[in-house]
Amino acid sequence: MEEETNRQERWMQTTNELLGAVRKETCQPYSIPVVPDELRKSNETAYMPKVVSIGPIYKGKKELLPMEEIKWRCLTSLLSRTFGQDTIATCLDTVIKSDAAVRASYVDEIALDRYELATTMVFDGCFLLELIICDSKLDSEIPIPFNVISPGKEVKEMEYVISDLMLPDNQIPIFILEKLFEKVLGSSNQMREFIQNLALPLFGYSGKLMVKSTSHFLDVAYSYLEMGWMGETEVNLSSVATETNLQEKHLSRCATRLKAAGITIQSLQNDDNINFKLTTHFNKSKGILKIPRLIITQTTEVKWRSFIAWEHQKNKLKTRSFLVADRLSICTFSALLFRDLICCSGDVQLLKDRRVIEDHTNTSNRDLVAFFHSMASGADHGIIDQQLTTMFNALNAFPTNNYLTKIYILPRHYFSKISDWCYSFYQYLKTGYIFSAYFLSFLTFVQTCYTIIAYHFPK
């Protein structure tokens, strides 16, 4: 009976704590998502951390253990800034009291007990705080004693670490960072905004984030991109039908066919070379399609997929749905746009020539075709704003200006498609030959074994 009473009191305590956190917007339930199966099946490994785990989902993975020692050094550096080695117990006690709010932040159920979960939150939270503090103005205001260099500076140079910090389910709630910051370094006005702006340079973003409340680091990075989309969706599409039932959900013309129709493709560039910061524009009267330049590096796929997964999660939760940018889903739209623009290696080369695509990985054009088609696999067309689907409709309906140009361009395009198909068929046959060779070798081995056995053990 006493045990039941204690259990009920415990339940009331955690429930009241969770309700209070939600009411104050400290905690946003189910804000740390699970990647939908439709997106994950196209590339399972793209959504898994390569170097560092953050939070409980990937805790203990063998391939991520080497980073744990660096986390400890970052934790030690953070505590040494205020000689607060004893504050670790206070941090742990504070986070344990927020156990219900932490668990509510994750879509997946957390298998760790409350002490293991609190330890993970404190350990990883302090690691993230040291990352965003080192090399910031706060680094000089609260320096590490004896002029010791923070290990976080070396970590920030590792591109794969930064991309791991943007994975959808490799996150911890940002309110944990607020609590840890307050216990270790002291309170600050508008704490969340302060932490958000400290985190922006970690992802290569400059400026300040105007959004007052984010859920985690992926939300911080995505919200920064959202600011660039406000008021940028004006599209010159006069006399284009906008009824939903007339909207095309995909582009029926690839880049070469758009060129043959008389549409000029141009690159939109910005000074800081940040992908997805700008939006695509189509001017129907001038026949000009302006596409933001896409810079492809080793971590572009991971970041792009993370943003797409977050857009699907935001659409599912319907949070902040009154914002224009929240309905755009620009990263998903970009994946669908590039998939439809590219049907062969010739389209990739055309977009490279127009500086729409800038590849820093030396990937072949044929492999880039597969890359772009994979990026859009499983993406939900329904989360795309109607204004963007109107753009698809306008591009599909754009009349051909010069049939002589079309006759000159399209045969080369079809030759490129046939060439790609022949190359794929050759690779398929080559794979088949290798399999046949292995199979024949296996049969030869079996026959040899049988001959030896028959020789030594005759009937």
What is the tens place of the pLDDT at every residue in 134-147? Answer: 989 899 889 998 88
Q: Is residue 156, in this structure, part of any structural domain at all?
A: yes
Residue 376 shares a structural domain with residue 237: yes
- Domain range enclosing 395: 230-404
Q: Which of these, 116, 51, 45, 126, lies nearest to 85 by C-alpha position?
A: 126
For 250, the 3-state DSSP assignment is: coil
pLDDT for the residue 297: 94
Per DSSP, what are the bridge partners of residue 275? none
429/47: higher pLDDT: 47
Q: How confident is the model at residue 319 (pLDDT cuts 50, 70, 90)?
A: very low
Residue 344 shares a structural domain with residue 287: yes
pLDDT for the residue 228: 81
Q: pLDDT, tens digit, for every residue of 208-228?
A: 887 778 999 999 999 999 888
CA-based angle 327:329:335, to the nearest 5?
155
Which value, to the nearest 10 degrees, does the dihedral of the CA atoms of residues 425, 431, 435, 437 take?
100
Q: pLDDT, tens digit, for every residue of 40-69?
A: 988 888 999 999 999 999 998 999 999 999
Residue 19 shares a structural domain with residue 125: yes
Contact between 167 and 218 under an 8 Å Cβ cutoff? The reply is: yes
- What is the chain's alpha carbon radius of gyration, rounded to the nearest angstrom? 27
Contact between 341 and 356 under an 8 Å Cβ cutoff? The reply is: no
Q: Is residue 450, in this structure, part of any structural domain at all?
A: no
Q: How confident is the model at residue 454 (pLDDT cuts 50, 70, 90)?
A: low
Average pLDDT (369-388) is 88
CA-based angle 43:48:49, to the nearest 5?
140
Residue 202 shares a structural domain with residue 267: no
Residue 140 shares a structural domain with residue 10: yes
- pLDDT over threshold 60, residue 320: no
Contact between 66 and 81 under an 8 Å Cβ cutoff? The reply is: no
What are the φ and ψ backbone dihedral angles of 98, each rounded to 5 degrees? -100, 20
pLDDT for the residue 187: 77
Q: Is residue 331, in this structure, part of any structural domain at all?
A: yes
Residue 242 shares a structural domain with residue 357: yes
Residue 244 shares a structural domain with residue 187: no
Average pLDDT (203-207) is 88
Q: pLDDT, tens digit, for every residue of 103-120?
A: 999 998 899 999 999 999
Number of domains in the chain: 2
Per DSSP, what are the bridge partners of residue 290? 266, 281
Q: In what order do the strands lie in the sheet with 281-283?
A: 264-268, 288-292, 281-283
Q: Is 406 exposed, middle or buried (0-12, 13-18, 19+ CB in 10 A)?
A: middle
- pLDDT over threshold 70, residue 13: no
Average pLDDT (431-443) is 58
Q: Is residue 417, in this structure, part of any structural domain at all?
A: no
pLDDT for the residue 227: 87
Residue 392 shares a structural domain with residue 256: yes
Residue 51 shares a structural domain with residue 169: yes
Residue 27 shares a structural domain with residue 65: yes
Average pLDDT (161-165) is 95
pLDDT for the residue 114: 92
Rounded Cα distance, 19 and 275, in Å: 38
pLDDT for the residue 238: 44
Average pLDDT (430-451) is 59
3-state helix, strand, coil in the chain (%, to 5): 60, 5, 35
State the DSSP H helix or E strand holding residue 25, giving kind and residue range, or none if neither. Answer: none
User: How many other C-beta atoms can be found within 10 angstroms of the C-beta atom of residue 458?
Assistant: 6
Q: pLDDT, tens digit, for every residue of 404-414?
A: 566 656 666 66
Helices (H), 1-107: 2-23, 37-40, 66-80, 87-96, 99-104
Average pLDDT (306-316) is 90
Rounded Cα distance, 391 and 250, in Å: 10
Rounded Cα distance, 198 and 136, in Å: 7
Half-sphere exposure of 2 (CA within 13 A, CB side): 0
What six digits make up the tokens of 309? 């997964």
User: How many other C-beta atoms can be found within 10 angstroms of the C-beta atom of residue 15?
Assistant: 11
Rounded Cα distance, 411 and 405, in Å: 11
Most confident of 15-19, 156-160, 454-458: 156-160
Residue 299 shares a structural domain with residue 381: yes
> Can you give the pTM of this predicted structure?
0.84
Average pLDDT (242-254) is 63
- pLDDT over threshold 70, residue 264: yes
392/327: higher pLDDT: 392
Report in angstroms the alpha-carbon separations of 169 from 62, 110, 307, 331, 436.
Answer: 18, 12, 12, 18, 42
pLDDT for the residue 429: 57
Average pLDDT value for the chain: 82
- pLDDT over threshold 80, residue 24: no
Q: Is residue 272, in this structure, part of any structural domain at all?
A: yes
- pLDDT over threshold 70, residue 248: no
